[in-house]
C-alpha cells in the first residue's frame, strides 16, 4: 500500500483511518507513551482505550456519525480527547481559531452548524456574545464547572467512567475534521479533511523527517491548524511520542523543547526569525532537538539557525487541502527551495490560462495525488468553490513557484501577494528576504499599496532589533545591493510588531488596509536618490515616472 521503509516506520493498516491506526499501534506498542499534554501522559494502549471511552461519552450526549462538534479551545487534553473520540465515533471535529470574535466567529459557526461546542469559559462567553448558530444543542466547558446563565452549559465530556465503544465503521474517505480557512469572498471555507488525509500526512512527513520510534515530537502550534493535527498522525504512524505544548512563547520555547525531550519540533511563519532575534543564552543548545519542520523560513536564516541552535530547518510544500507534496530530507535541504515532488504525488506549473510553462518560468503550482484520500475531499457545502479549486483532478494552490530543470521547486509568492509596479511583477517574498538579511531587521512584510496613477507601489513594514538606530534610508541602501530598482520599496514603516495570525503568519490584509500613514517614510517625499544602475538607476526611474504621469 505504501512506500514507507519498514526500518523506519511500523506497518501501516490497510484501512488508513484513525481508529485502525489506534487499534494497531495499541496492539504493537502497548505501554509505550504516545501522548503527553501538560501533566497527562497516555500510552498507546491508554490512548486507544481513552478514545473508545470518549466516543461513548459523546454518544451518551447524542453525538453520532457525521455530527459536527466545534471546539474553541487552546491546546488542552479535553481537545485531544474530543479529536480522538470523534474520530472513533465517525463524528467530525471542527477546531476553531481561538482568536476569532464577533461576526467573524459567528460566521464560522454558521458555516459548520455544529451540534455542540467545546470551549474554555471565556471563549464560551465570546461565542455567546457573537451569537450562537441554530441547532446548537449545548456548550461544553473545558477546565471549569458549569457557569450560570446562557445557553445550556455543562462540563466537557470525559472518557473516565464510560464503557468503551467498538470503533465505528469508518472509511478512509470519511471526514475526520473540518478545518476553517479564509475565503477570497470573505466567507470562511471549511476544508473537509478525511481520515486518509491525516494518515498520509503521517506517512509523508515521517518519511521526509526520518521519524522513528525513538523520536519525541513537540509542537506548540494550535490544534485548529493542520500542522499540529498531522504531527499527531506522524507520531501514530511512526510509533513515536507526541507532546502538545501551550502556545508559542519565544522566551519559553527552547526550555519547553528541552523539558519535553523532543527530537523533532515544528515552526511556522516568523517563529524562526523571532527565535534568532533573541539574545543568545545557555538554553539555545540545551536540548536534543535535531530537526524542525519550518516551511516558509527565509533562506538566509536556515544555516544561521542550525549553527546557533543545533537544529536543522526543513522546508516543504503542503496546504490544508493537500499533503506534503514537495519536500526533501533534512540532509538534502537547499536554502531557498521547497524540495522535489514526493513519491505518489504530481506537480505542474501553469500560466493564467492553465498551460504548462517551461522550467525556470514562474507560474501557479497545481498538484494532485496518486494516493486515494490523501487530499481533502472539498469545501464544506461549497460545491462551486470546490470546483474552482480542483480542476480536472488538479488542486490549484494559488502559489507562484518556479520549477528548476533539476526538478527542485522554488517558492516565489502567493499570487494574491504579487506586486505589479510599472509593468513589472515583484515578489513580495523576495523583498522581505532581502530586508531580512540586514543585521538589524527582525521581521519584514512587503505589500502593495495603490500608486498615484496606476498599478501598485511597494511598501514595507519592518521590525528592528531592540536598540537599533538604523533608519529607512539605510534599509533602502541595503536593498539596492540586491534588488532591481523597480522592486525597491517606496514606503517604509518602522513598527514594533507585525500583525500575525495565531499560527504566526503575517496578515498582510491588515497592512494593506492600513497603507501609508502620515508617519510612513516616503522615499520620494524624503528626496532619496537611488544609486545609478545599468538598468536605469535614478534617471531611468525618474523618466519612467514622468512618462507615467504624462
What pLDDT sits at residue 545? Answer: 32
Residue 32 phi/psi, 5-degree rounding, is -65, 135
Distance CA 217, CA 33 (A): 12
pLDDT band per the 50, 70, 90 thresholds, residue 186: low
Average pLDDT over residues 206-211: 96
Residue 342 in grid coordinates: 514526493
pLDDT band per the 50, 70, 90 thresholds, residue 83: very high
Listing DSSP states for 368-402 in one string gives EESSTT-S--EETT-HHHHHHHEETTEEEEEEEEE
Side-by-side strand order, sheet with 326-327: 316-317, 326-327, 340-341
pLDDT band per the 50, 70, 90 thresholds, residue 542: very low
Which of 83, 318, 355, 282 has the alpha carbon at shortest distance from 203?
A: 318
A 10 A CB-CB count for 422 gives 17
Distance CA 123, CA 104 (A): 14
What pLDDT sits at residue 456? Answer: 87
Domain with CATH 2.30.38.10 in the chain: 335-416
What pLDDT sits at residue 513? Answer: 87
Is 86 in contact with 18 (CB distance < 8 Å)? no
User: What's the burial of 534, exposed, middle or buried (CB within 10 Å: 0-12/13-18/19+)?
Assistant: exposed
What pLDDT sits at residue 185? Answer: 47
Which of 370, 363, 369, 71 has the alpha carbon at shortest distance from 223?
A: 71
What pLDDT sits at residue 536? Answer: 35
Listing DSSP states for 219-240 in one string gives E-S-TTSHHHHHHHHHHHHHT-
Q: What is the pLDDT of residues 126-169, one digit of tens each?
A: 999 999 999 999 999 998 655 444 456 799 999 999 999 999 99
Sign of dihedral through CA atoms 118, 122, 128, 131? negative
Average pLDDT over residues 274-297: 94
Distance CA 347, CA 458 (A): 31
Integer CA distances (angstroms), 278 to 77, 121, 228, 275, 502, in order: 31, 34, 25, 6, 20
Minimum mean pLDDT range among 41-45, 48-52, 100-104, 363-367: 100-104
DSSP 8-state assignment for residue 300: H
Which of 192, 191, 240, 171 has the alpha carbon at shortest distance from 13?
A: 171
Minimum mean pLDDT range among 192-201, 206-215, 286-295, 536-545: 536-545
DSSP H or E segment with residue 44: helix 44-60
Distance CA 476, CA 432 (A): 12
The set of long-range contacts for 299-303, using a CB threshold of 8 Å and a minimum separation of 24, is 299/335, 299/336, 299/433, 300/335, 300/433, 300/436, 300/437, 301/272, 301/273, 301/276, 301/436, 302/333, 302/335, 303/335
For the chain, the average pLDDT equals 90
Distance CA 223, CA 142 (A): 15
CATH of the domain spanning 335-416: 2.30.38.10
What pLDDT sits at residue 26? Answer: 97
Average pLDDT over residues 183-210: 88
Is 85 in contact with 22 (CB distance < 8 Å)? no
Considering the entire predicted model, what is its pTM? 0.83
Is 241 in contact with 215 (CB distance < 8 Å)? yes
What pLDDT sits at residue 152? Answer: 62
Which of 514, 499, 542 has the alpha carbon at shortest distance from 450?
A: 514
Q: Which CATH number is 418-549's, of 3.30.300.30, 3.30.300.10, 3.10.310.30, 3.20.20.70?
A: 3.30.300.30
What pLDDT sits at residue 366? Answer: 98
Is the pLDDT at 345 greater than 50, yes or no? yes
Q: State CA 37 to chain mean position distance.
A: 21
DSSP 8-state assignment for residue 78: H
Domain with CATH 3.30.300.30 in the chain: 418-549
State the residue for C-alpha cell 504493537: 28
Minimum mean pLDDT range among 27-41, 283-297, 453-467: 453-467
With both helix axes pointing from N to C terminus, report the angle between 77-89 and 226-238 in degrees, rounded to the nearest 10: 70
Residue 27 phi/psi, 5-degree rounding, is -70, -35
Distance CA 319, CA 329 (A): 19
Q: What is the pLDDT of residues 395-436, one digit of tens each?
A: 999 999 999 999 999 998 888 887 888 767 788 888 999 999
Average pLDDT over residues 93-120: 93
Query: At 7, is the secondary structure helix, strand, or coil?
Result: coil
Q: What is the pLDDT of residues 483-508, one digit of tens each?
A: 888 889 999 999 999 998 777 778 88
Strand partners, 340: 327
Which of 306, 339, 307 has the alpha carbon at shortest distance from 324?
A: 339
Which of 25, 84, 95 has the alpha carbon at shortest distance from 50?
A: 84
Is 127 in contact with 114 (CB distance < 8 Å)? no
Average pLDDT over residues 282-305: 94
pLDDT band per the 50, 70, 90 thresholds, residue 300: confident
A 10 A CB-CB count for 467 gives 6
Is 340 in contact with 308 (CB distance < 8 Å)? no
What pLDDT sits at residue 547? Answer: 27
Is the pLDDT at 184 greater than 50, yes or no? no
Residue 316 in grid coordinates: 516543504
Amino acid at each position: 500500500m505504501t512506500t514507507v521503509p519498514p526500518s523506519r516506520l511500523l506497518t501501516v493498516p490497510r484501512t488508513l483511518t484513525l481508529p485502525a491506526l489506534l487499534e494497531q499501534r495499541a496492539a504493537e506498542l502497548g505501554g509505550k507513551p504516545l501522548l503527553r499534554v501538560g501533566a497527562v501522559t497516555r500510552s498507546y494502549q491508554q490512548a486507544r482505550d481513552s478514545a473508545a471511552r470518549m466516543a461513548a461519552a459523546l454518544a451518551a450526549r447524542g453525538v453520532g456519525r457525521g455530527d459536527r462538534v466545534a471546539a474553541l479551545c487552546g491546546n488542552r487534553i479535553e481537545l485531544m480527547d474530543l479529536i480522538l473520540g470523534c474520530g472513533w465515533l465517525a463524528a467530525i471535529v471542527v477546531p476553531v481559531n481561538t482568536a476569532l470574535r464577533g461576526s467573524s466567529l459567528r460566521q464560522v459557526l454558521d458555516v459548520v452548524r455544529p451540534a455542540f461546542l467545546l470551549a474554555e469559559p471565556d471563549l464560551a462567553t465570546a461565542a455567546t456574545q457573537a451569537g450562537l448558530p441554530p441547532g446548537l444543542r449545548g456548550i461544553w466547558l473545558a477546565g471549569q464547572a458549569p457557569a450560570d446563565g446562557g445557553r445550556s452549559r455543562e462540563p466537557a465530556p470525559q472518557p473516565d467512567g464510560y464503557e468503551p465503544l467498538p470503533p465505528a465503521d469508518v472509511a478512509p474517505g470519511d471526514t475526520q475534521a473540518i478545518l476553517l480557512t479564509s475565503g477570497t469572498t470573505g466567507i470562511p471555507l471549511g476544508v473537509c479533511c478525511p481520515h486518509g488525509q491525516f494518515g498520509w500526512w503521517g506517512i509523508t512527513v515521517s518519511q521526509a523527517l526520518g521519524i522513528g520510534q525513538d523520536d519525541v515530537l513537540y509542537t506548540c502550534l494550535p490544534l485548529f491548524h493542520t500542522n499540529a493535527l498531522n504531527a499527531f498522525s506522524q507520531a501514530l504512524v511512526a510509533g513515536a511520542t507526541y507532546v502538545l505544548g501551550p502556545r508559542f512563547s519565544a522566551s519559553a520555547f527552547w526550555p519547553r523543547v528541552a523539558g519535553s525531550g523532543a527530537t523533532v519540533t515544528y515552526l511556522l511563519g516568523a517563529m524562526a526569525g523571532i527565535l534568532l532575534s533573541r539574545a543568545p543564552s545557555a538554553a539555545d543548545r540545551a536540548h536534543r532537538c535535531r530537526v524542525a519542520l519550518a516551511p516558509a523560513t527565509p533562506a538566509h536564516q536556515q544555516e544561521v539557525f542550525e549553527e546557533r541552535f543545533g537544529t536543522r530547518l526543513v522546508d516543504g510544500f503542503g496546504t490544508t487541502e493537500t499533503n506534503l507534496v514537495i519536500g526533501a530530507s533534512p540532509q538534502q535541504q537547499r536554502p531557498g527551495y521547497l524540495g522535489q515532488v514526493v513519491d505518489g504525488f504530481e506537480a505542474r506549473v501553469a500560466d493564467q490560462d492553465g498551460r504548462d510553462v517551461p522550467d525556470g518560468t514562474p507560474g501557479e503550482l497545481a498538484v494532485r495525488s496518486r494516493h486515494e484520500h490523501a487530499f481533502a475531499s472539498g469545501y464544506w457545502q461549497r460545491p462551486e468553490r470546490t470546483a474552482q479549486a480542483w480542476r480536472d483532478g488538479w488542486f490549484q494552490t494559488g502559489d507562484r513557484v518556479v520549477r528548476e530543470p533539476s526538478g527542485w521547486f522554488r517558492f516565489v509568492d502567493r499570487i494574491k501577494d504579487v506586486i505589479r509596479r510599472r509593468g513589472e511583477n515583484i515578489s513580495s517574498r523576495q523583498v522581505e528576504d532581502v530586508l531580512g538579511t540586514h543585521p538589524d531587521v527582525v521581521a519584514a512584510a512587503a505589500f502593495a499599496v495603490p500608486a498615484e496613477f496606476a498599478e501598485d507601489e511597494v511598501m514595507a513594514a519592518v521590525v528592528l532589533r531592540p536598540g537599533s538606530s538604523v533608519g529607512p534610508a539605510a534599509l533602502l541602501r541595503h536593498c539596492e545591493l540586491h534588488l532591481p530598482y523597480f522592486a525597491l520599496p517606496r514606503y517604509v514603516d518602522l513598527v514594533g510588531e507585525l500583525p500575525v495570525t495565531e499560527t504566526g503568519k503575517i496578515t498582510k490584509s491588515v497592512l494593506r488596509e492600513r497603507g501609508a500613514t502620515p508617519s510612513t517614510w516616503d522615499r520620494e517625499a524624503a528626496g532619496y536618490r537611488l544609486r545609478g544602475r545599468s538598468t536605469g538607476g535614478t534617471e531611468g526611474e525618474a523618466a519612467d515616472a514622468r512618462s507615467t504621469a504624462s
